[in-house]
Amino acid sequence: MTDFTAEVQGVTKRYGETEAVRGVDLTLAPGECVAMVGHNGAGKSSLIKLMLGLTTPTEGRIRVLGGDPASAACSHIRRQIGFLPENVAFHPNMTGRETLDFYARLKGAPRRGNDALFEKVGLEPAAIKRRVSTYSKGMRQRLALAQSLLGGPKLLFLDEPTTGLDPALRQSFYAIVAELRDQGTTILLCSHALTELEGQADRVVVMNRGRKVADGSLATLRSLAQLPVRIRLTLPTDDIDALAARVGEGAALTRLAGGVVELACANDDKVGLVRRITCDGPTVADIEIVQPSLDEMYAHFLRREAAE
């Protein structure tokens, strides 16, 4: 007996000749927000479809909320799952309200909560009465989010949820995600927009060509990747040689535009290097420390995978 919301064990999925998912192990715990990143065709959507029971694995075993999601008796499992598909589409001739009513009835969720849901995702009462065909991409995405939250799911799959959303809406979107996670909902989030996942996800899973290449918290992945930290200095003078002498061998120095100099060094050397520069070196007008972003780590893991 496990406490995991979802468990994927050695799962492989083949579509004819192509292998969409190759030997993936993955566990999702309650109250956890996991980000899954990878290129198009890395197997993210295929993995979600497998966990939804839309397709069955060629090899391996999947258990979601204590049962097989593709079995005949999966209705009670699906009732507790929310799903926001990539490129969501609705029936264009129904209004927003009718659409949500329809999905609520299918899910057996009380329709009383629909107004609260509309408010939560920020769909105006005037918009709810209009047909979905008149909706903008952002409004459609809000409606999609609303349907995924129907019935208070225990497990939420969000496939590219923020494509087409403006920055303000992204903020409110992640606020909703954080609130759900605090209530104990397990969330699996797929995205290309890696930068916006920082600070949102408890764990990051990197997928490449159907394989899981990395899995861990952002800090764990950082130390695994051993990518250099970059220190950006704005110098009032052009005295780069003096700076270079002080920096020494430990860091690589490059000149950027606008009188900015960038030093790249290992994470462990960071503190010592800053001390050497600021205490008794040439005057520095500004200093900025840039941690390797999720994008860079992602690129790193893909390079490592390609090298193997």
Partner 1 sequence: MNTLLIVAGKELREATRNRWVVATTLLMAALALTLSFLGSIPTGTVGVGPVEVTIVSLSSLTIFLLPLIALLLSFDAVVGEIDRGTMTLLLSYPVARWQLLLGKFLGHAAVIALATVVGYGAAGVALAMGNTAIGPESWRAFASMIGSSVMLGAAFTALGYLASTIVRDRGTAAGIAVAVWLGFVLLYDMALLGILASGSGLGVEALNWLLLANPADAYRLFNLTGFKGVSAFAGTAGLAAHVQLSVPLLLAVMAGWIAAPLALAAALFSRKQI
Binding-site string for partner 1 from residue 263 to residue 282, where x marks contact by CB under 8 A and - marks none: --------------------
Q: Kindly indicate which of the ranges 23-31, 81-89, 232-240, 271-279 contains the residues binding partner 1, using the contact rule CB under 8 A.
A: 81-89
Contacts of 185 (CB under 8 A, 6+ apart): 30, 31, 153, 154, 155, 156
Tokens of residue 198, six digits: 């920082």
DSSP string, the chain: ----SEEEEEEEEEETTEEEEEEEEEEE-TT-EEEEE--TTSSHHHHHHHHHTSS--SEEEEEETTB-TTSTT-HHHHTTEEEE-TT----TTSBHHHHHHHHHHHHT--GGGHHHHHHHHT--HHHHTSBGGG--HHHHHHHHHHHHTTT--SEEEEESTTTT--HHHHHHHHHHHHHHHHTT-EEEEEES--GGGTTT-SEEEEEETTEEEEEE-HHHHHHHHTPPEEEEEE-SS--HHHHHHHHGGGSEEEEETTTEEEEEE-GGGHHHHHHHHHHHSS--SEEEEEPPPHHHHHHHHHHHHHH-
Closer by beta carbon to partner 1, 89 or else 307: 89
Closer by beta carbon to partner 1, 94 or else 264: 94
Report 200-229 residues binding partner 1 (CB under 8 A): none
Q: Kindly indicate which of the ranges 92-100, 178-186, 268-276, 283-291 contains the residues binding partner 1, using the contact rule CB under 8 A.
A: 92-100
Q: Can you tell me which residue has the tokens 């009188």?
A: 259
Instruction: Work out whether 118 is an interface residue with partner 1 (CB under 8 A).
Output: no
Instruction: Work out whether 93 is an interface residue with partner 1 (CB under 8 A).
Output: yes
Q: Kindly indicate which of the ranges 72-80, 245-253, 285-293, 297-305 contains the residues binding partner 1, using the contact rule CB under 8 A.
A: 72-80
Closer by beta carbon to partner 1, 78 or else 230: 78
- Cα gap 186→205, rounded to integer Å: 15
Question: What's the closest the beta carbon of residue 82 comes to partner 1, in angstroms?
Answer: 9
Question: What's the closest the beta carbon of residue 75 comes to partner 1, in angstroms?
Answer: 4
Closer by beta carbon to partner 1, 70 or else 299: 70
Question: What's the closest the beta carbon of residue 102 comes to partner 1, in angstroms?
Answer: 5
Instruction: Work out whether 129 is an interface residue with partner 1 (CB under 8 A).
Output: no
Residue choice 21, 50, 52, 233 for contact with partner 1 (CB under 8 A): 52
Instruction: Work out whether 103 is an interface residue with partner 1 (CB under 8 A).
Output: yes
Under 8 Å between Cβ of 209 and 44: no
Question: What's the closest the beta carbon of residue 67 comes to partner 1, in angstroms?
Answer: 12
Question: What's the closest the beta carbon of residue 118 comes to partner 1, in angstroms?
Answer: 18
Strands 81-84 and 155-159: parallel
Q: Can you tell me which residue has the tokens 């790249």?
A: 264
Residue choice 12, 31, 60, 74 for contact with partner 1 (CB under 8 A): 74
Residue choice 75, 183, 226, 278 for contact with partner 1 (CB under 8 A): 75
State phi, psi for 279 to the nearest 5 degrees: -70, -55
Closer by beta carbon to partner 1, 156 or else 225: 156
Closer by beta carbon to partner 1, 134 or else 223: 134
Q: Kindly indicate which of the ranges 80-88, 115-123, 252-260, 283-291 contains the residues binding partner 1, using the contact rule CB under 8 A.
A: 80-88
In the complex, which residues of this chain contact partner 1 (CB under 8 A)?
15, 49, 52, 54-55, 72, 74-76, 78-79, 81, 83, 85, 87-91, 93-94, 98, 102-103, 105-108, 131, 147
